[in-house]
Amino acid sequence: MSFGDNIKHLREEQGLTRQGLAAISGISSAAIGYYESGKREPQASTLVSIARALHVTTDSLLGYSVPVVGEYEKYKALLESYGCDVDEDTPEKGNITVQFNEMDSDGRLCLFRGTAIFCSRSSFCRRIRDVEQHERQLSEKQLNERIRWGILGYLGAVADFGPAE
């Protein structure tokens, strides 16, 4: 994927318009349009601003990625321990579907049900990693509970909700 394609893909993946990304990054929406279309290349400081706004590294924005061995498996196991179903089409195809149910404290009543779809292992891992990094200052018990709620909350924000049965 080209640099412009990466910006557009990451922007759309996060549900942002060009204007939304412009507001967050401090870069004009016209400039973002030029970058996405390949008509211009950003300066280093602009690249950093866009990467920060999209919560990715500049390497990722430029299309360079080195997968962390075992990271996907670690996060998949973490979500499964919270009762989520994590399915991957194929590693080559990359679509990862996370289905989750949030139960009441007695485990008897399904409060909500949803599905989140990630386009790649790296986007899946990046989202989970973001939640973990945000919660690092908490105690171990608080950390595990906050990560659980943070992940489920994020999944709920991007999910296609279905009725709780």
pLDDT in tens, 82-141: 777 888 876 556 678 887 766 556 655 555 567 777 777 877 887 777 776 666 555 555
pLDDT in tens, 26-44: 999 999 999 999 999 999 9
Residue 164 located in a structural domain: no
Whole domain around residue 93: which residue ranges? 71-158
Residues 94, 151, single domain; the answer is yes
Give the CA dihedral 128, 131, 132, 137, nearest 10 degrees.
Answer: 180
Task: Say how far apart CA 59 and CA 6 lie, in whole Å.
Answer: 11
Q: Is the pLDDT assigned to residue 64 strictly greater than 50?
A: yes
Residues 113, 47, single domain; the answer is no
Residues 40, 7, single domain; the answer is yes
- Cβ contact 112:83 at 8 Å: no
For residue 25, the SS3 value is helix
Residues 41, 77, single domain; the answer is no
Residues 83, 147, single domain; the answer is yes
Tokens of 77: 């196991």
